[in-house]
Chain A
Amino acid sequence: MSGYNFAYLDEGTKRMIRRALLKAVAVPGFQVPFGSREMPLPYGWGTGGIQVTAAVIGPDDTLKVIDQGADDTTNAVSIRRFFARVAPGLRTTESTAEATVIQTRHRIPETPLREGQVMVYQVPQPEPLFRLEPRRAETRRLHALADYGLMQVKLYEDIARHGRVASSYDHPVMVGDRYLMSPSPIPSFDNPKMHMSPALQLFGAGRERRLYAVPPYTAVRSLDFEDHPFVPLRANGRCTLCGSGESYLDEVVTDDRGGRMFVCSDTDYCGTRQARMKEAAE
Chain B
Amino acid sequence: MNDEPILSARGLRLSFGAVRALDDVSIDLWPGEVLAIVGESGSGKSTLLRVLAGETRPDAGSVTYGDPQGGTRDVHGMTEAARRRLARTEWGFVHQDPRDGLRMAVSAGGNVGERLMAVGDRHYGNIREEAARWLERVEIPRSRIDDAPRLFSGGMRQRLQIARTLVTRPRLVFMDEPTGGLDVSVQARLLDLIRALVADLGIAVILVTHDIAAARLLAHRMVVMRQGRVVEEGLTDRVLDDPRHPYTQLLVSSVLAA
A225 lies within 8 A of B123 (CB)? yes
A26 CA to B122 CA, complexed, in Å: 28
Min CB distance B105 to A, Å, is 9
B80 lies within 8 A of A145 (CB)? yes
A145 lies within 8 A of B115 (CB)? no
Is A81 located at the chain interface by the 8 A CB criterion? no
A227 lies within 8 A of B125 (CB)? yes
Min CB distance A227 to B, Å, is 5
A153 lies within 8 A of B123 (CB)? no
The residues in B between 106 and 128 inclusive whose CB is less than 8 angstroms from any CB of A are 106-107, 109-110, 113-115, 117-118, 122-128
B81 lies within 8 A of A145 (CB)? yes
Which residue of the partner chain B has the closest CB to A161?
Answer: B146
Is B244 located at the chain interface by the 8 A CB criterion? no
Is A74 located at the chain interface by the 8 A CB criterion? no
Known: A225-B123, A226-B122. A156 touches B113 (CB 8 A): yes
Known: A145-B84, A150-B114, A152-B117. A157 touches B106 (CB 8 A): yes
Type the 1/0 row for A122-161, where 1 means its CB is closer than 8 Å to any CB of B.
0000000000000000000100110111101100110111
Min CB distance B54 to A, Å, is 14
Is B103 located at the chain interface by the 8 A CB criterion? yes
Known: A147-B118, A225-B123. A160 touches B81 (CB 8 A): no
A160 lies within 8 A of B88 (CB)? no
A144 CA to B128 CA, complexed, in Å: 28
Dominant SS among interface residues on chain B: helix
Dominant SS among interface residues on chain A: helix
B113 lies within 8 A of A153 (CB)? yes
Is A276 located at the chain interface by the 8 A CB criterion? no
A153 lies within 8 A of B117 (CB)? yes
The residues in A between 210 and 241 inclusive whose CB is less than 8 angstroms from any CB of B are 224-228
Type the 1/0 row for B74-113, where 1 means its CB is closer than 8 Å to any CB of A.
0000001100110010000000000000010011011001
A152 CA to B120 CA, complexed, in Å: 10
What residues on A are CB-neighbors of B80 within 8 Å?
141, 145
Number of A-B contacts (CB under 8 A): 57
B117 lies within 8 A of A149 (CB)? yes
B110 lies within 8 A of A153 (CB)? yes
What residues on B are CB-neighbors of A227 within 8 Å?
123-126
A172 CA to B225 CA, complexed, in Å: 49
Type the 1/0 row for B119-142, where 1 means its CB is closer than 8 Å to any CB of A.
000111111100000000000000
A156 lies within 8 A of B127 (CB)? yes
The residues in B between 14 and 48 inclusive whose CB is less than 8 angstroms from any CB of A are none
What residues on B are CB-neighbors of A157 within 8 Å?
106-107, 110
Give the residue of B81, B109, B113, B117 whose beta carbon is less than 8 angstroms from that of A144: B81
B114 lies within 8 A of A225 (CB)? no
Which residue of the partner chain A has the closest CB to B127?
Answer: A156
Min CB distance A142 to B, Å, is 10
Known: A156-B109, A156-B110. A147 touches B103 (CB 8 A): no
A149 CA to B113 CA, complexed, in Å: 9
Min CB distance B103 to A, Å, is 7
A144 CA to B83 CA, complexed, in Å: 13
Known: A145-B80, A145-B81. A160 touches B117 (CB 8 A): no
Known: A156-B109, A156-B113, A160-B109. A149 touches B118 (CB 8 A): yes
What residues on A are CB-neighbors of B113 within 8 Å?
153, 156
A149 lies within 8 A of B122 (CB)? no
B118 lies within 8 A of A160 (CB)? no
What residues on B are CB-neighbors of A226 within 8 Å?
122-124
Known: A147-B118, A225-B123, A225-B124. A153 touches B106 (CB 8 A): yes
A226 CA to B122 CA, complexed, in Å: 6
What residues on A are CB-neighbors of B88 within 8 Å?
149
Known: A149-B114, A153-B113, A153-B114. A160 touches B107 (CB 8 A): yes
What residues on B are CB-neighbors of A160 within 8 Å?
107, 109-110, 128, 145-146
B103 lies within 8 A of A153 (CB)? yes
Min CB distance B5 to A, Å, is 27
The residues in B between 131 and 179 inclusive whose CB is less than 8 angstroms from any CB of A are 145-146
Which residue of the partner chain A has the closest CB to B125?
Answer: A227
A141 CA to B83 CA, complexed, in Å: 13
A159 CA to B124 CA, complexed, in Å: 9
Considering the complex of A and B, which 8 residue pairs feature the smallest CB-CB distances, nearest first?
A149-B118, A225-B124, A152-B117, A226-B123, A145-B81, A149-B117, A153-B114, A227-B125
Q: List 22 A-B contacts (CB under 8 A).
A: A145-B85, A147-B118, A149-B114, A152-B114, A152-B117, A152-B118, A153-B103, A153-B113, A153-B114, A153-B117, A156-B113, A157-B106, A157-B110, A159-B124, A160-B107, A160-B109, A160-B128, A160-B146, A161-B146, A226-B124, A227-B123, A227-B126
> Known pairs A144-B81, A227-B124. 6 more at Cβ < 8 A?
A147-B118, A153-B114, A156-B117, A157-B106, A225-B122, A226-B124
Residues of chain A having any CB pair with chain B under 8 Å: 141, 144-145, 147-150, 152-153, 156-157, 159-161, 224-228
